[in-house]
Chain A
């Protein structure tokens, strides 16, 4: 895998996923960007939009081990992480053996993550951030590459446990899976109800994914672009001079430094996909929505008025662009 073929490979991946997922190009593109930037993605959308299918397809295309965990209120942390169980050896001696949970995979689909209890949700924290699992006093590395792709349903909020801020911040992207267009809907219906459904082909393996991640990290970023990312993060804080009026009015606390890191890391991948060897302002602006929208802490007024963070981000982009 070399720089020249980076963009082409990504396009091939997208093309293979598109064989089983109709539409949702931005979601697919951003999911790939998130994965190649080494992050985890939270996909939010109503049921039946193909979130799980898409994640599964990604696993197939990348030839990565894929596991799905359906989060329910009674799901325990050990159900995810794994646990020590008593086994016997050939001599009949008993000992504890660690039985890995479903988190030990390259791609973990945490389906409807907001249905599990906070205790279980927080069990994912270490895995998502450190790529390790600690059980029985022993820390174990997760396989590389490791991605968590979580989904949540914004409608059925009853009996759910909204993800705490700390855990939300660990997702690199929050992707909104929208309802398909009419034509796309017709295609979905047609393709899923016919016999002999298409399966995506393998494009690359885990090693190549790691190499692509490594290449992406080498992409240079101009001081101006880094400064712009910094200003954008600053602008999400109501007390900042960069903050637009809407942020001052509706935001209680702005984006953490992880937001800036997410912008630059994802920007590098996007630049390579776009055929550039440097990050541009437009990368930062394009990725600001998925990278920042879940990191805002709205105040009471913002919550009460149901302020969409995307609107705030659009104003922040305008404000920062004026200062450039």
Chain B
């Protein structure tokens, strides 16, 4: 309770109040420090039971908060003039000061005499001598105890340190991959500024969402989940194209031909107008120099023939009509030039979209592999280190698909091949596992195989918990282009051979989420069991098998 006392008395008590206030705050400072250290010790003890990467930050923050609370409490419990009076009484004033405080405002003879007596004694009081500044014993001991405890906890090895380090690595890896995705996004944005495309804008949005998800992801599982979601979306968008997946192959083949390379590059960049002009220019050249293809190279006609076989009937008809009109001057149905331009425009859009999607897929695949490698590096041994590499293609530009370099086990890398000397950037896309280069030397007794698997090392490792978000090859899709290469070599046999394979993961969309794939096969198995006359005992075996997989 705050008492109102005479001004003169308050002035006389001020030096005592100041003295005990310092002492009071010092005591609470020690208490706050001890409590803060105790809080830190509690955090450190907790960090020994489960991995807690931010424990040091929490220790600092917790200590600061506790100290602040202690000082706030000290402020609200600060001594007042009444306590100063009581303290003065304890220093030999024999309750003169506290009685004078109580009598403040009274003007009786005895009250006046009492106040004068109190003031006289207060003035004679040597505050420094009577109220020495001291270190509170109890608080000091508690502080020392907590300091010792804290030091022990800091210096004794933490059994969870290894897991914490792993978490840190995963976080760093998430940040690294997020930056890579940012780079890929910037590349797309630059292209978008030059040649705006709706598909590309959607892709940029998707990557932005993915970045946000990765920034929010604390766990490997969350990051992989976000990546998986983004990959699935890109795949779905790719699959919905008018010209199908073959558009990329067409582009690749066009790039191999010097005459059509520029057209292919413009189509890949999404330059519709440029593509239309280039196509018309190409058709003019072809009209002028029929059959003048370089030796060993496909002529433009042959390339167009192939393209006509690969593109849908509507576009093929438009192209044929346009070709006839251009070469023979015969009219077709409608305005052939306009139809041709429209068809080329659509094709160009899809080609660019498909290339962009492939690039994005490659970036996501790299990110996935990087994260998995970080997640399993400590528990599952060495994961193949050749993930995420960017393969520069040779000057001939023949190696558009990335090389998952390295022989032996491991996941294939992915990469983009930039053709030198071309500003528009001939971007060969190829990503994903399985696109590895298997090599075997005759004098080595090893088996090199390009595997599609992400699952390296110990299956019981924590990485297995991520299995749901891993993608595995769908056996039904393997066997098309981009088979996994298995190259066996035996010691002392033959020369070294190198094979390049296309990337099944991207080209065939052979990678599918584990759960989806297992569910699909499980459904198929159930349907087969219902239809086929299989013995009841064996049917149960099949059911049990799929149940165990799920």
Query: Residues of A contacting B103 with CB < 8 Å?
Result: 220
Query: Residues of A contacting B86 with CB < 8 Å?
Result: 224
- B541 close to A (CB within 8 Å): no
Query: Residues of B contacting A218 with CB < 8 Å?
Result: 108, 110
Instruction: Knowing A3-B109, A220-B110, A220-B111 are in contact, say whether A276-B96 is a contact too (CB < 8 A).
Output: yes
Whether the pair A278, B99 counts as a contact (CB closer than 8 A) is yes
Query: Residues of B contacting A225 with CB < 8 Å?
Result: 95, 99
Is the interface on chain A under 10, 10 to 19, 20 to 34, or 35 or more residues? 10 to 19
- B117 close to A (CB within 8 Å): yes
Q: With a 10 A CB-CB cut-off, give which of B99, B102, B110, B117 has the most chain A CB atoms.
A: B99
- How many inter-chain contacts with C-beta < 8 Å in the A-B complex? 48
Whether the pair A224, B95 counts as a contact (CB closer than 8 A) is yes
- A223 close to B (CB within 8 Å): yes
Q: Which of A43-51, A91-99, A250-258, A279-287 contacts B (4 or more CB under 8 A)?
A: A279-287
Query: Residues of A contacting B108 with CB < 8 Å?
Result: 218
- B98 close to A (CB within 8 Å): yes
- A192 close to B (CB within 8 Å): no
- A18 close to B (CB within 8 Å): no
- B48 close to A (CB within 8 Å): no
- A273 close to B (CB within 8 Å): no
Beta-carbon contacts of B89-129 to A below 8 Å, as 1s and 0s? Answer: 10000111011101100001111011001100000000000
Whether the pair A277, B110 counts as a contact (CB closer than 8 A) is yes
Interface of B is mostly: helix
- A8 close to B (CB within 8 Å): no
Residue of A nearest to B114 (CB): A277
A106-125 residues at the B interface, CB under 8 angstroms: none
B269-295 residues at the A interface, CB under 8 angstroms: none
Which of B94, B111, B118 is the one whose CB lies under 8 Å from A282? Answer: B94
- A222 close to B (CB within 8 Å): yes
Nearest CB of B to A182, in Å? 35
A181-230 residues at the B interface, CB under 8 angstroms: 218-225
Whether the pair A280, B117 counts as a contact (CB closer than 8 A) is no
Whether the pair B117, A276 counts as a contact (CB closer than 8 A) is yes
Whether the pair B102, A223 counts as a contact (CB closer than 8 A) is yes
Instruction: Give the complex CA separation of A165 and B280 in angstroms.
Output: 132
Whether the pair A3, B113 counts as a contact (CB closer than 8 A) is yes
Whether the pair B117, A224 counts as a contact (CB closer than 8 A) is no
Whether the pair A278, B95 counts as a contact (CB closer than 8 A) is yes
Query: Residues of A contacting B100 with CB < 8 Å?
Result: 278
Nearest CB of B to A24, in Å? 26
Instruction: Give the complex CA separation of A157 and B308 in angstroms.
Output: 141
Whether the pair A278, B109 counts as a contact (CB closer than 8 A) is no
Nearest CB of B to A271, in Å? 9
Whether the pair B110, A222 counts as a contact (CB closer than 8 A) is no
Residue of A nearest to B108 (CB): A218
Query: Residues of A contacting B110 with CB < 8 Å?
Result: 3, 218-220, 277
Q: With a 10 A CB-CB cut-off, give which of A220, A223, A225 has the most chain B CB atoms.
A: A220
Residue of A nearest to B95 (CB): A280
Query: Residues of B contacting A222 with CB < 8 Å?
Result: 95, 98-99, 102
Query: Residues of B contacting A276 with CB < 8 Å?
Result: 94, 96, 117
Instruction: Give the complex CA separation of A107 and B108 in angstroms.
Output: 33
A1-18 residues at the B interface, CB under 8 angstroms: 3
Nearest CB of A to B6, in Å? 14
Which of B89, B94, B99 is the one whose CB lies under 8 Å from A220? Answer: B99
Instruction: Give the complex CA separation of A224 and B113 in angstroms.
Output: 20
Residue of A nearest to B103 (CB): A220
Instruction: Give the complex CA separation of A219 and B100 in angstroms.
Output: 12
Query: Residues of A contacting B113 with CB < 8 Å?
Result: 3, 277
Nearest CB of A to B477, in Å? 85
Residue of A nearest to B98 (CB): A222
Instruction: Give the complex CA separation of A281 and B108 in angstroms.
Output: 23
Instruction: Give the complex CA separation of A225 and B113 in angstroms.
Output: 19
Instruction: Give the complex CA separation of A224 and B94 in angstroms.
Output: 11
Residue of B nearest to A223 (CB): B102
Query: Residues of A contacting B111 with CB < 8 Å?
Result: 220
Instruction: Give the complex CA separation of A222 and B100 in angstroms.
Output: 8
Whether the pair B95, A279 counts as a contact (CB closer than 8 A) is yes
Residue of B nearest to A225 (CB): B95
Query: Residues of B contacting A220 with CB < 8 Å?
Result: 99, 102-103, 110-111, 114
Query: Residues of A contacting B102 with CB < 8 Å?
Result: 220, 222-223
Query: Residues of B contacting A223 with CB < 8 Å?
Result: 102
A259-303 residues at the B interface, CB under 8 angstroms: 276-282
Query: Residues of B contacting A279 with CB < 8 Å?
Result: 95, 99
Instruction: Give the complex CA separation of A280 and B96 in angstroms.
Output: 8
Nearest CB of A to B267, in Å? 95
Instruction: Give the complex CA separation of A218 and B109 in angstroms.
Output: 10
Which of B94, B109, B117 is the one whose CB lies under 8 Å from A281? Answer: B94
Whether the pair A281, B114 counts as a contact (CB closer than 8 A) is no
Residue of A nearest to B82 (CB): A224
Instruction: Give the complex CA separation of A59 and B109 in angstroms.
Output: 31
Instruction: Give the complex CA separation of A224 and B111 in angstroms.
Output: 17
Instruction: Give the complex CA separation of A250 and B510 in angstroms.
Output: 96
Instruction: Give the complex CA separation of A218 and B110 in angstroms.
Output: 7
Nearest CB of A to B139, in Å? 20
Query: What are 22 A-to-B residue pairs whose CB atoms are below 8 Å?
Result: A3-B109, A3-B110, A218-B110, A220-B102, A220-B110, A220-B111, A220-B114, A222-B99, A222-B102, A224-B86, A224-B98, A225-B95, A276-B94, A276-B96, A277-B110, A277-B117, A278-B100, A278-B114, A278-B117, A278-B118, A280-B89, A281-B95
Instruction: Apart from A278-B114, A280-B94, A282-B94, list 8 A-B contacts with CB within 8 A.
Output: A218-B108, A220-B99, A225-B99, A277-B117, A278-B100, A278-B117, A279-B99, A280-B89
Closest 8 CB pairs of A and B: A280-B94, A277-B114, A278-B99, A222-B99, A280-B95, A218-B110, A222-B98, A277-B113
